Amino acid sequence: MSLLFENISLELGDGDQKVKALDSVSGSVSPGELAAVVGPSGAGKSSLLAVCGGLRSPTSGKVSIDGQLISALSPAQLTRIRRDYIGFVFQQSNLVPALTAVNQLLLVPSLRGRKPTQADRERALALLAEVDMSHRTDRRPDQLSGGERQRVGIARSLMGEPMVLLVDEPTSMLDRARGHAIVELLASRCAEHKVAALMVTHDASMLDSASNVMHIADGRITQGS
């Protein structure tokens, strides 16, 4: 599946408090590609991800996934698209407080309406190993550091085998070495499984594995495509 966003504008607030978070932003991500959007805090990066993932409706412009205009979908259809085809990596991990690390990943098949199998458990453990969390699989979020929670969140996003992956500051709580390893993992997964991934970051040192880089400032793409 490909991701295309065209002339996206997003206004937030009302009246005198209204601000333009995005201003005619366009870009595309092809299957197998890890595209990056880099810019300072407040540039509009997270707003772009929210619009691309159908979490927020743009004021104008359109977003298409595999040629399908997501703004034309009903709420139920959009929920299904997010559940079955889009993976989110949030800056804050958004883990379920009562679940252990491995059960965070096993929640994915449960949300799709089926009981997790032994094969699901083995896959979950393998993904946790890939993000260097094999030693913490039985720990709940309150027993993990911020960086560990972030790595569990990344593993969970891959558990559902998404076709579109939206990644918000995946290395913000990691040291440089682990950060590079995580971005390389995301890039290799995208290439292997033909996933279209859009990653936003303020850290330009994490861009080596990106196949395309877009720079954003004050809600506008200033470089890249």
CA distances from 116 to 45, 113, 120 (A): 34, 9, 6
Average pLDDT, the chain: 90
**Quick check: 66 pLDDT over 60?**
yes
**Quick check: 106 pLDDT over 60?**
yes
- What is the reported pLDDT for 90? 83
> Helix 146-159 crosses helix 118-130 at what angle (to 10 degrees)?
130
Domain architecture of the chain: domains with CATH: 3-89+150-223 (3.40.50.300)
Evaluate whether 90 touches 45 at the Cβ level (below 8 Å): no
**Quick check: 147 pLDDT over 70?**
yes
**Quick check: 225 pLDDT over 60?**
no
- Predicted model pTM: 0.86
Instruction: Name the one residue in this structure whose structure tokens are 């994915």.
Output: 108
